[in-house]
Structures are given as structure tokens and as C-alpha cells.
Amino acid sequence: MIGLLLIAAELCGPAVGLVGEAELVSDVGRALSERGVAVSPLPGCPAAEVSITRSGERLVLALAEGAARREATDSSIAALIVESWARADLAAPLLLPPPPPQERGPIAAAPLSVEPGGPRGDLRLVLPHPSLGLDLGARAELGAALDGAVWLGGAVEARWDLERWSPTAALRIAANHAAFDPLRTPSNRVLGDLMLGARITLELGPVRVQPGLLLGLGVLSTRRQSAPTCLGATGCGPGPRVIDDGFVKTYATPKLEAGLLSTIPLAGSTSLHLFLAATIAPWANEAGFVPDYAGALTPAEQAGLAVSGDAIFVFRAGFGLGFEVLR
């Protein structure tokens, strides 16, 4: 009986049945055959059945019983995962005869084989494939505010992609020449936003769509543009008259941003990013900024010395490139 069991164990060996797209089954099956795992099990031999599907750039592997589900970036990684399932039984090593007794002396540890295709009976170490990764993106942005301002700038974003959601950090820099309010002197404005939050991952074929919500702090610096020089009574056109005081005002305010990021694969680890968002600053200073020295003046006089303030709502659109730096 023991001899029959040994023969059966040797004939069967590690085996697996693959189902799914023909191209995926062929690629993974070829890699498994090279590692000594049969993809056409003999009748009567136990074999796990694994389905292979594609989700974006990843391969999704699932046991037919639904006991396990993993993702891989290519067929070679997928073969390693499937092999770990095919070789998970412990019955075959138990049927092998016990090793001969060792001579007395120092105890030596049995060598470990880190190669998944090592000889039968050796301990194999198979590292699990990580199911998360770090994505970096850089994009150009155009913003339109309710106060009529147009913001030009860019942003960088880092996302730690988990199964269905991604913790996100974003940094934005933008600039605006505020000359749209005829009652105020022109000014140059620069803002910086640091936002933290999360995005939910939705797969639409090869395109990944990630709506997200981010909360952070915005810093705005406004500098008065140098006032024009007027010569004579008729040398100046209509408009405000202010002194060239070099007034600068910097302040910070909380911001909330709801946006949508679409990722379109290009080549390798590079992708195209399309971005839409609405940024809300509930406590933004819309009234404008007045120099401290004008505190004793009338409201009308203060308005003539004020520079443009901040906007509560800004709509943004942008595009750029993304890179997978860890997968």
C-alpha cells in the first residue's frame, strides 16, 4: 500500500487547472511548466483550479473555491502565486521515507531553497506579491475663481494605492495677476495649497477613475503692483490713485477640495492624468487687504488703498503624467 501511495504521489506531483482568457492562460501556463508545475493534471490527481482575469494592467488570480484572491503585474509573478497554491499540500513529504540518522556532532540547519522550483522536500520561501503601490503625478492646472480671477499653476500628488482606496497628499503652487477689479490697484498673487485626504478607486476597463476628498491649508501672498507715474494734469487716465507703498499681505486659510482624477495607461509605468476639482475656502477674505497705515481713513479711502482678496470657490482643471515608483 505504501508503495502505491509513493507511486501515486510521484505521478501526480504539483498540478493546477487554469481557466480564463486564452492568452493569459497560455502565458501563465508556460511559466508554470518551466517551474515544474503541470497545467494538464493526470486523471485522478488532485489539482487546484485557478481563474485568471485582467483588471487594468493587473492580472487577478482566484481559486475556484473562492478561498484566495491575489493580483499580479505580469505572468511570471502570477506563476509564482499559482505555484504556491499548487504546492500547498503537506501530504507528499509525509509519504517520503525518513532521512538516515546523522552522526553525532554539531547540529547543522537544513539549507533553505528560496527558488520556488527547488527539489521536492526542501523548504521553499515564496515572498507574497504586494497588493499596494506608490504612484506619483505632476500636472499643469488652470483655475477659475468666482471673483473673476484666472489662476495658472501646477501640482504634484502622491498616492499610496491600496485595494479600493488611496491615501493622498497634494501640493499646489499657482499665480495670478489681479487687475480685473477697476476699484483696486493691480496686484500679483501667489498661493500654495497643501492637501491631505483619500481617493476611491474605480476601474473602467483600462482607465482608473478616482474621486477624492482632500482637506488642507492654503497660503496666499498678495503684493501691490507698482503704481504708474503721472505727469501733468492730463497725463493719467481714469482709475484709482495710490502711493507706491510696496504693500504685501500674506495669510492662511483652511480649504476643502472635491475632485476627480482619471488615469489612462500609456507605456510601462507611465500614465496620463486628467484632473477636475472644486476648491472651497469658507473663511476666505473676499473683502480685500488694506495696509495698516490706512486704519484711520474713511471706508472709501481704504477701498482706494486695498488690494484684491481671496476667493471662496475656485474650479480647477488640469492634465499631466503619472509614474508608478513602487508596485
* Whether 326 contacts 165, CB under 8 Å: no
Residues 287-315 have a mean pLDDT of 86
Task: Assess contact for 184 and 306: CB atoms under 8 A.
Answer: yes
The yes-or-no verdict on residue 236 having pLDDT over 70 is no
Top-confidence residue, 181 or 300: 300
Contacts for 58-63 with beta carbons within 8 Å, 24 or more apart? 59/24, 59/28
Does position 131 have pLDDT exceeding 60, yes or no?
Answer: no
Domain ranges, ordered by start, for the chain:
2-95, 133-228+244-326
C-alpha cell at 37: 508545475
Mean pLDDT throughout 243-253? 87
CATH architecture of 2-95: 3-Layer(aba) Sandwich (3.40)
What is the three-class DSSP state of 325? Answer: strand
Comparison of pLDDT for 192 and 268, the residue scoring more: 192
Whether 189 contacts 224, CB under 8 Å: no
* CA–CA gap between residue 81 and residue 98 (Å, rounded): 29
Give yes or no for residue 6 having a pLDDT over 50.
no
Better-scored residue on pLDDT, 279 or 292: 279
- Tell which wins on pLDDT, 114 or 262: 262
Please give the pLDDT value at position 302: 80
pLDDT above 60 (res 101)? no
Phi, psi dihedral angles at 155 (to 5 degrees): -150, 150
Q: Please give the Cα distance from 166 to 201 (Å, whole number).
A: 7
Convert the pLDDT of each residue in 27-85 to its tens digit: 888 888 888 787 777 676 777 788 888 887 788 888 776 667 788 888 888 888 888 87
H helices of 13-128, in order, are 22-34, 75-86, 91-95
Give the DSSP letter of residue 40. Answer: S
Contact between 271 and 159 under an 8 Å Cβ cutoff? The reply is no
Give how far the C-alpha of residue 260 lies from the chain's centroid of Cα atoms, to the nearest Å. Answer: 13
Query: Quick one: pLDDT band at residue 180, thresholds 50, 70, 90?
Result: low
Q: What is the dotted CATH code of the domain comprising 133-228+244-326?
A: 2.40.160.20
C-alpha grid cell for residue 134? 506608490
- Which DSSP string corresponds to 64-87? TTSS-EEEESSHHHHHHHHHHHHT
Contact 159, 183 (CB under 8 A): no
Average pLDDT taken over every residue of the chain: 78
Q: How confident is the model at residue 16 (pLDDT cuts 50, 70, 90)?
A: confident
Cα 102 vs. chain centroid, distance in angstroms? 54
- How far apart are the C-alpha atoms of 164 and 202, rounded to whole Å? 8
How many CB atoms neighbour CB 157 within 10 A? 25
